[in-house]
Amino acid sequence: MVVLTKPAIDHFPTVKNSFKSPSYFNDIPVIDLSKPDSKNLIVNACEEFGFFKVINHDVPMELISKLESEAIKFFSSPLSEKLKAGPADPFGYGNKKIGQNGDIGWVEYILLSTNSEFNYQKFASVLGVNPENIRAAVNDYVTEVKKMSCEILEMLAEGLNIHPTNVFSKLLMDEKSDSVFRLNHYPPCPDIQELNAKNLIGFGEHTDPQIISVLRSNNTSGLQILLKNGHWISVPSDQNSFFIIVGDSLQVMTNGRFKSVKHRVLTNSVKSRLSMIYFGGPPLSEKIAPLPSLIEGKNSLYKEFTWFEYKKSAYKTRLADNRLVRFEKSL
Ligand SMILES: C=C1C[C@]23C[C@@]1(O)CC[C@H]2[C@@]12CC[C@H](O)[C@@](C)(C(=O)O1)[C@H]2[C@@H]3C(=O)O
Ligand SMILES: O=C(O)CCC(=O)C(=O)O
Ligand SMILES: [Fe+2]
């Protein structure tokens, strides 16, 4: 008897290809950071999409390329070596397993806490280089991206007429800010044709729990966002720009005026995708609640909670779960 072995991709989640919708969406808001009058556009983008693209930023390309090349070096090393930097619990090297609650995707990644020493030594043994190389590349990149995030959050506060305008940015600037940095590598999946008009999921649909996420990828597309009308749209890749994602905590602080956008990544059959994401979060002890000036005459939609409480609860959920529902007020 001939026993056919099932291809590994059979075990991975897929989505149906939709041939009806256009493959790329060209109406994603683009914010030119060199223009001082962008604040109202940022507010509109956060209200309509919870997502926008940033151009003319001041993050030096040299820092991005340096980190990208360190990441490529790491992901190109043998699996047995990479596994030494794992498992992701939640920090470390992870392969196909996302989080601790049974989610999987066609992705390998490194997850780091940006404000602790963490185990750069582990990575160094894999890279065979001085631990300072990767540590410096991550630190330099995160410092610049955090600066840009704060600039954006201050413009956003101004656009919302909130005073002082550092109400959001001070949370990221706090030395105890609980921020995370992630490098995702989505290897191409040549067997994808076997899936019959289906796409393999690299990173399943979810919202990001923090305040703001800043995503940069190489020129391989795959990122999709969910529009208010329920349609998934593909975001054309742009390696010279950043994509900003509204997180759950910003949704709460704006009393639901901004929505944390659902997003996911689909695998490419030919090209690999490399993304780097900074997730800007508040200190663990910070109380998260709607800002009084954004409640004004309306009901507060959320109970007050600390970031520690939210994170603890979020990390017990599956990727696609609505993590905020537990914190909504019953009106
Ligand atoms: C399934 C999970 C992975 C995740 C923790 C969680 O339990 C639910 C939120 C997930 C998420 C999504 C955004 C970021 O990539 C992330 C690091 C985060 O803060 O929340 C991941 C978590 C993870 O991969 O550990
Ligand atoms: O890799 C990407 O492009 C997006 C991944 C993502 O959404 C995440 O890591 O939270
Ligand atoms: Fe995400």
Amino acid 6: pLDDT: 46
Say which residue the tokens 């999987």 belong to. 104
Q: What digits encode the pLDDT tens for the residues 12-24?
A: 888 877 544 445 6
Closest CA to 239 of 215, 219, 267: 219
314 lines ligand 1 (CB under 6 A): yes
If one residue of 103, 179, 203, 272 were mutated to test the ligand 2 pocket, choosing by the most ligand atoms within 8 A of its CB, it would be 203
DSSP assignment letter at 8: G
State which ligand 2 atom lies nearest to the alpha carbon of 264. 7
State which ligand 1 atom lies nearest to the alpha carbon of 90. 25
Say which residue the tokens 């693209």 belong to. 53
Amino acid 308: pLDDT: 98
Q: What digits encode the pLDDT tens for the residues 223-243?
A: 999 999 999 999 999 999 999
If one residue of 319, 321, 323, 325 were mutated to test the ligand 1 pocket, choosing by the most ligand atoms within 8 A of its CB, it would be 319
Q: Which residues of the chain, if any, have pLDDT below 50?
A: 3-6, 19-22
140's tokens: 């330099």
Amino acid 96: pLDDT: 96
Q: Is 216 a catalytic residue?
A: no
Query: Which ligand is closest to the CA of 265, given by its number?
Result: 2
Looking at the chain, the whole-number percentage of residues with pLDDT higher than 90 is 75
CA of 161 to the centre of ligand 1 (A): 32
CA of 205 to the centre of ligand 2 (A): 9
- Of these residues, 273, 318, 323, 326, which one is catalytic? 273
Amino acid 18: pLDDT: 58
Q: Which amino acid is at 81?
A: E
Model's pTM, two decimal places?
A: 0.94
CA of 208 to the centre of ligand 1 (A): 7
CA of 208 to the centre of ligand 2 (A): 9
CA distances for 223 relative to 109, 120, 234, 237, 265, angstroms: 16, 28, 6, 8, 4
